[in-house]
Structure 1
Amino acid sequence: MSETIKIALISDIIASRKMKEREQIQEILTSILNDINIRFKGAIESNLTITLGDEFQGIVNSAEAAFLIIDLISLRFQTRTKEEIGEEVTLRWGIGIGRLSTPIKNRKVSIGTDGPAYWHAREAIESVHQYNDYGQLNEKLASDQPEIDFLNSIIRLQNVIKNDWTMSQKQTALIILNEAGYEAFTNQTIKKAMSNQLGQAVSEQTVSKRIISTHIKQYAHSRKLVAEKIEDWRRSHDH
């Protein structure tokens, strides 16, 4: 049995069975997961793997990486589906923090591994499915951590901010998070990244307005603090 407390992620596509372009949506998701698995290979212990047509799972070694992976996949999925099929498709997430009953036998696929980390992730995503806070809640934590309810209350507020973004704001947030993660950044850095991404010059005023309107600095700082709180608990319980 693994003695280290792991972070398991389980995600699925909301209302996927009602979508006509299901095959194309799954192709988009597969492409995004492949990119993320490569980019975060140092943080992902067991690759994000599609286990059913509309569901995938994996193991990550840090809470901050887990949150950033969730944000990047979610935003890329929403923006790409809107661009390619004309409909914005959303994911829901369960984040489980706990040990594994079986070792990770194959890093390339997250199949055949089980234990409390996955049980908690399943509990969390089922809770989101049953109670999504009028469509405002897309992710939830589950673990034996005493402060889990408090942390989930912060995540609910983070989700309210994120779900209020327009498509252009989601594109902006994606560029910023892709460039800086949850670290501090300058307007000049984001201006350059946005210009490269959009293929055209972007003014300082436009960059400033977009940063302010998305509340991305506050959002990123909040994500980082929740991740640090989870890591403090993990370190105190690992043995």
Structure 2
Amino acid sequence: MYCAIIGDIVKSRNIEDRSNVQYQLEGILKDINMKYKDSIVSNFTITIGDEFQGLLDEPKSLLDIIDYIKINLYPVKVRFGIGLGEMSTEIKLFAIGSDGPAYHVARKAIEDIKKSDIKYEQPDRDTIVYTTIKENHEFNYLDIVNSLLSACCFIESKWSEKQRDIIKQVTKEDKTHRELAEQYGVTQPSISRRLNKSGYYTYKNAKEDAIKYIVNYWERIHE
């Protein structure tokens, strides 16, 4: 069982400096391959056009990897299709040429996001997780996961540039409220209020719940 990730840059043809964005993306994927090497079995690499893919042997770092790409490539937007399933081809160092049911459902996830964008004229989600496992009961962990990720996408879409910058520094640069208050020339409670107003804590809790459900689902199907 593997976790396949396909990423696709949104409206890449409208980007003025596509070569520079691709150069940035190559650097980000290189960083990910080092940072999360314990979970990656096929390194992330650009495949066709402005798509990239990678393969994990367990999902605990899945959402961290996605967030790392989104934060570091912003303002360029990326959609992600995640597939949980088996592989048909040999597992190689890089994901180019890899194929199997895990990638098939990841591709379906990407296509469903694109259809959703057309239907609602704006993205209501940027990440979907599908599985190849057919279950016979009504309760589906991944339905909950996808609802949580959709809510996170909505919250994130409302962030101002300043809110986004503060959240990036809190989450990825590990800056304290005190350090941020000194940086922006405000009080610590002011930083807390800005984070509250952005919906960051709701976003954070939803992401944490989403990965718990994914890991729980993964462990259950491996029993």
Report TM bin, short chain: 0.7 to 0.9
- Indicate the residue corresponding to 1:236 in structure 2: 220
Q: 1:105 aligns with which of 72, 84, 92?
A: 92
Distance 1:37 1:210 in 2: 33
Q: Please give the alpha-carbon distance, in whole angstroms, between the structure 2 residues aligned to 1:130 and 1:91.
A: 15
The answer to whether the aligner puts 1:226 opposite 2:210 as a matched pair is yes
Q: Which residue of 1 aligns with 2:50?
A: 54
Q: How does 1:132-147 map to 2 (within 5 A)?
A: 132=117, 133=120, 134-143=122-131, 144=133, 146-147=140-141
* Structure 1 residue 94: Cα displacement: 0.6
Q: Of the candidates 25, 31, 34, which is equivalent to residue 30 of structure 2?
A: 34
Higher relative contact order (CA 8 A, sep 6+): 1
Q: In the TM superposition, what are the counterparts of 1:180-195 in structure 2 within 5 Å?
A: 189-192=176-179, 194=180
* CA RMSD, 1 decimal: 2.4
Could you say which residue in structure 1 is the equivalent of 2:153?
A: 159
Q: Kindly state the Cα deviation for residue 41 of structure 1 after the two structures are TM-superposed.
A: 1.8
- Letter of the 1:207 counterpart: I
Q: State the TM-score, normalized to the length of structure 1.
A: 0.79
Q: Is the 8 A contact 1:57 1:110 kept in 2?
A: yes
Which consecutive segments of 4 or more residues in structure 1 shift more than 6 A?
none
1:63 aligns with 2:63: no
Identity %: 31
- Long gaps (5+) in structure 2: none
Q: TM-score, normalised by structure 2?
A: 0.85
**1:130 alignment partner in structure 2:** 115
Residues 56-112 of structure 1, C-alpha deviations (whole Å, 9 max, x = no match): 00113443411111112112211xxxxxxxxx3211111111122233221xx2123
CA–CA distance in 2 between the matches of 1:230 and 1:14? Answer: 25
Match of 2:76 among 89, 112, 120: 89
- SS of residue paired to 2:125: coil
1: CA distance between counterparts of 2:161 and 2:176? 21
The answer on 1:21 being equivalent to 2:17 is yes
- Consecutive unaligned residues in structure 1, runs of 5 or more: 79-87, 181-187
Letter in 2 for 1:98: G
